[in-house]
């Protein structure tokens, strides 16, 4: 995921130091790239800015792309120390403007992906939701909160409510051409189906859960496929992720009811795999 994130950075948004760091990464010299950021100590510079003044706010905002690259590079390199450093950077960005929904959401996503601190992430997602004025962003936040509830034994019953709120927003936006023909919207919608499927996978009635999960993931394929068609190559990684979840849910049928794994279901998986391979060929070299 972080390899994918690194190749997507727009160099026009980065300072020269970060551009040089990316060049080192592409040569496989990850440790040297990280050393550049350690020497610059961007996180401490960000924490020292008084962002109440317009000039300093602009300076702070100009630093964000390089700071994010620093954090993602740490995640890409791996290791406890690097993950801790990445968390400190994302936390600093979020604290620099707690009214910025995107900053709060990004920090929450880091907590979900890398530290499994769901309760802490939940607080930052709700903070982001309070300050969000964008409908698509609100849908994404509801979806993520729903996923967090799914993984909490104490909150799992609240998950469908949040997921349904997200789905209602997506359904309304899909009626507008500006959204229905937007690649990011479609891949974001597909993500919701992954999150909804995770709720069903954890239900006590395992057979019903696996069935509903598979149906939801299959529906999500339509949106993921459209995203790839709208922007060939860009969302291949996300499409593969959706396929992975779908294949796993179908194979789980075998554990619960061997009779469910029919030749038809195996053919469906094979067909989707061939489709995923064909789509992957449309990606550019870095995406592959």
Q: 254 vs 4, which has greater pLDDT?
A: 4
Whole-Å CA distances, 56 to 66, 167, 174, 206, 244: 16, 39, 39, 55, 45
Q: 60 vs 262, which has greater pLDDT?
A: 262
Q: 213 vs 150, which has greater pLDDT?
A: 150
Tens digit of each residue's pLDDT (9 = 90 or more) over 187-209: 999 989 988 988 887 877 766 77
- The confidence band for 51, taking pLDDT boundaries of 50, 70 and 90, is very low
Kindly tell me if the per-residue pLDDT of 24 is higher than 80: yes
Of the listed ranges 22-36, 101-115, 185-199, the one predicted with least confidence = 22-36
Evaluate whether 227 touches 235 at the Cβ level (below 8 Å).
yes
Kindly tell me if the per-residue pLDDT of 168 is higher than 90: yes
Kindly tell me if the per-residue pLDDT of 67 is higher than 90: no
Instruction: Work out the average pLDDT over 132-140.
Output: 91
Instruction: Work out the average pLDDT over 93-107.
Output: 85
Instruction: Work out the average pLDDT over 273-278.
Output: 74
The values of phi and psi at residue 117, to 5°, are -90, 75
pLDDT, residue 15, reads 75
pLDDT, residue 172, reads 94
Instruction: Work out the average pLDDT over 253-273.
Output: 66
Tens digit of each residue's pLDDT (9 = 90 or more) over 223-242: 888 888 888 767 777 777 77
Instruction: Work out the average pLDDT over 133-139.
Output: 91
Average pLDDT of the chain is 80
Instruction: Work out the average pLDDT over 72-83.
Output: 87
Cα torsion 132, 193, 171, 280: sign: positive
User: Helix crossing, 135-150 with 101-110: angle to 10°?
Assistant: 30
Instruction: Work out the average pLDDT over 245-258.
Output: 63
pLDDT, residue 99, reads 83
Evaluate whether 179 touches 173 at the Cβ level (below 8 Å).
yes
Kindly tell me if the per-residue pLDDT of 256 is higher than 60: no
Q: Is 79 left (phi over 0), alpha (psi -120 to 50) or beta?
A: left
CA 210 to chain centre: 23
Q: 133 vs 153, which has greater pLDDT?
A: 133
CB atoms within 10 A of CB 204: 6
Q: pTM here?
A: 0.68
Kindly tell me if the per-residue pLDDT of 274 is higher than 60: yes
- The confidence band for 52, taking pLDDT boundaries of 50, 70 and 90, is very low
User: Mind spelling out the 3-state secondary structure of the chain?
Assistant: CHHHHHHCCCHHHCCHHHHHHHHHHHCCCHHHHHHHHHHHCHHHHHHHCCCCCHHHHHHHHHHHHHHHHHHHHHHHHCCHHHHHHHHHHHHHHHHHCCCCHHHHHHHHHHHHHHHCCHHHHHHHHHHHHHHCCCHHHHHHHHHHHHHHHHCCCCCHHHHHHHHHHHHHHHHHHCCCHHHHCCHHHHHHHHHHHHHHHHHHHCCCCHHHHHHHHHHHHHHHHHHHHHHHHHCCCCCHHHHHHHHHHHHHHHHHHHHHCHHHCCHHHHHHHHHHHHHHHHHHCCCCCCCC
């Amino acid at each position: 995921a972080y390899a994918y994130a690194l190749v997507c950075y727009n160099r026009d948004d980065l300072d020269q130091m970060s551009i040089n760091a990316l060049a080192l990464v592409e040569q496989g010299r990850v440790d040297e790239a990280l050393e550049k950021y350690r020497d610059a100590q961007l996180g401490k510079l960000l924490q020292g800015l008084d962002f109440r003044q317009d000039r300093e706010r602009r300076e702070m905002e100009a630093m964000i792309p390089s700071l994010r690259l620093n954090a993602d590079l740490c995640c890409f390199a791996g290791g406890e120390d690097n993950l801790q450093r990445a968390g400190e950077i994302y936390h600093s960005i979020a604290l620099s403007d707690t009214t910025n929904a995107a900053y709060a959401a990004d920090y929450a996503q880091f907590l979900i992906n890398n530290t499994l601190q769901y309760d802490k992430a939940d607080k930052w997602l709700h903070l982001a939701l309070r300050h969000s004025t964008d409908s698509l962003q609100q849908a994404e936040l509801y979806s993520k909160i729903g996923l967090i509830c799914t993984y909490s034994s104490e909150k799992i019953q609240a998950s469908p409510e949040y997921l349904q709120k997200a789905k209602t927003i997506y359904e309304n936006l899909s009626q507008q051409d500006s959204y229905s023909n937007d690649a990011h919207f479609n891949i974001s919608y597909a993500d919701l189906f992954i999150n909804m499927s995770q709720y069903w996978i954890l239900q006590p009635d395992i057979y019903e859960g696996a069935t509903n999960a598979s149906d939801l993931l299959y529906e999500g394929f339509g949106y993921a496929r459209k995203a790839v068609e709208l922007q060939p190559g860009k969302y291949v990684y996300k499409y593969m992720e959706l396929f992975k979840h779908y294949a796993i849910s179908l194979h789980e049928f075998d554990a619960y009811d061997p009779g469910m794994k029919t030749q038809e279901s195996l053919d469906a998986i094979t067909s989707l795999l061939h489709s995923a391979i064909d789509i992957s060929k449309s990606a550019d070299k870095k995406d592959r």
